[in-house]
Amino acid sequence: MKSTLVNWSRNFIPFSLLILVLSSGCGKSGASGELVGLNANNFRSSSTPYGMVYIPAGNFVMGENDQDMVLGQAAQKREVSVSAFYMDETEISNSEYRQFVNWVRDSIAITDYLQDDKYFIKPKNPTDPKYIDWKKLGPNSVAIWGNLKTKNPNADKLRNMFYQGENVLFNKKEFDGRGWRYNFSIFDFKASIEGRNNKTKARSDYLLKDTVFIYPDTNVWVTDFAYAQNEPMVRDYFSHPAFNNYPVVGITWRQARAFSVWRTKRYEAYRVGRKLPERAPYRLPTEAEFEYAARGGIKGAMYPWGGPDMRNAKGCLMANFKSGSGNYTSDGAVYTAPVKSYLPNDYGLYNMAGNVAEWTASTYDEAAFNFIGDINPTFTYDAKSKDADALKRKVVRGGSWKDISYFLQNSTRTYAYQDEARSYIGFRCVSTYTNSIKGRK
């Protein structure tokens, strides 16, 4: 675990900090009693995460500094500063999200159905928790699913993971993913700081736990457009390989957060085994980070490509959106487009406007610009099921394939509820850059 100077609570000491205290008597040999620091030369800056681009620290004018044709912006403009971070160069694709779904599926198959010790790493102590040995599963988990058509005993054990009886269509063996859930815990730093003087609190009291159904809601293609013939999209969009590189949709805000937690844990398990540099957790971007990255370093840019025109010098549209009064085909796509469509902005980010709108980590409040800070600003609130609906609104940025050009402007902010899924909302992840200046060791 990475050590930190954050005061988690006055009633307990983080384990990593305790290690530092116990090892503080060990210094460099030959230091002659001089102050040399602990592990001063052992830090290695991590390389840019795969599929991400580096966004340098900087400042920009956030908010309503573009044309507000519908008087929809409640916030005033203000100058803010943003720390450096990494950001996915594209929206999360169906193929990438399916990797998460399959991981959960295989975990359930091993722990709940097979319950075979050969798939687990043997713990050093019998009381230690068991972890799945993913190396034994092979590519695409062939060790589990490769023998279902034979008389392998595993086939009977896994039968209930598929649709059965009258639910089977055309004698096809199809997974029933309705019950696939992902359980996780993350530490709530803000809550721990607020309760730091409460002697009755333990560290575990500040763990934010959630259980999320992880399969996308493919029905959004019909529920979002009641009088449209979108059934083929319901059937094929997430599962058919033709849509592998299209942005995943039908994902709630909570599902997007669960994906970022899983992605963090996946890399951490890989990193520890190979003694690689630490990396900040993956997470959803704040709305300030999203707007700053969308502008691509261009001051006052109306759109990610600069603007204000929606077409380039050759007359080609610069994004996937609703052109005119309803021409969805003029940009080359009726619905979504592949995640690397159109030209990237000056930071190398694709589709920061159009294609799919994107979830951010920020909670939506019309008056947020009046009380957020001017360095890494955001307003967040972890809404519970019993909270009012107004507290469950999350900021959505970027505009989508179904929106007019106004919603593609860098400064436009809208919202959706954290538990609702849409055919036009996806997401991408960010990871905080751990050095204040790129290249500093």
Domain ranges of the chain: 53-93+180-441, 94-177
Bridge partners for 21 per DSSP: none
Q: How far apart are the first and last CA of the chain?
A: 20
For the chain, the residue count is 441
Predicted confidence at residue 320, as pLDDT, reads 96
Q: Per residue of the chain (441 residues), what is the pLDDT tens digit? A: 443 334 434 344 444 444 444 444 454 555 677 877 766 555 556 689 999 999 999 999 998 755 555 555 555 788 999 999 999 999 999 999 999 999 999 999 999 999 888 999 888 888 888 889 998 898 889 889 887 777 777 888 898 899 999 999 888 888 999 889 999 999 988 888 888 888 888 888 888 999 999 999 999 999 999 899 999 999 999 999 999 999 999 999 999 999 999 999 999 999 988 888 888 999 999 999 999 999 999 988 999 999 789 998 888 899 999 988 888 999 989 999 999 999 999 999 999 999 999 999 999 999 888 889 999 999 999 999 899 999 999 999 999 999 999 999 999 999 999 999 999 999 999 999 987 555 444
Q: What whole-number distance in Å separates Cα of residue 359 and Cα of residue 378?
A: 14
Tell me yes or no: is domain 53-93+180-441 CATH 3.40.47.10. no
Predicted confidence at residue 16, as pLDDT, reads 47
Q: What whole-number distance in Å separates Cα of residue 96 and Cα of residue 113?
A: 25
Predicted confidence at residue 23, as pLDDT, reads 46
- Is the distance from CB of 292 to CB of 362 less than 8 angstroms? no
Q: What whole-number distance in Å separates Cα of residue 437 and Cα of residue 291?
A: 21
Bridge partners for 317 per DSSP: 311
Q: What whole-number distance in Å separates Cα of residue 426 and Cα of residue 400?
A: 9
Which of 410, 363, 352, 357 is CA-nearest to residue 389?
Answer: 363
Burial track 92-119 (b if 16+ CB lie within 10 A, e otherwise) = bbbebbbebbebbbbebbbeebbeeeeb
CA angle 281, 282, 286 (to 5 degrees): 110
pTM of structure: 0.88
Predicted confidence at residue 31, as pLDDT, reads 60
HSE of 304 in the Cβ direction (CA atoms, 13 Å)? 27
What sign for the dihedral angle of Cα 240, 246, 249, 251? positive
Predicted confidence at residue 34, as pLDDT, reads 81
3-state class of 432 per DSSP?
A: strand
Predicted confidence at residue 30, as pLDDT, reads 55
Burial track 158-168 (b if 16+ CB lie within 10 A, e otherwise) = beebeeeeeee
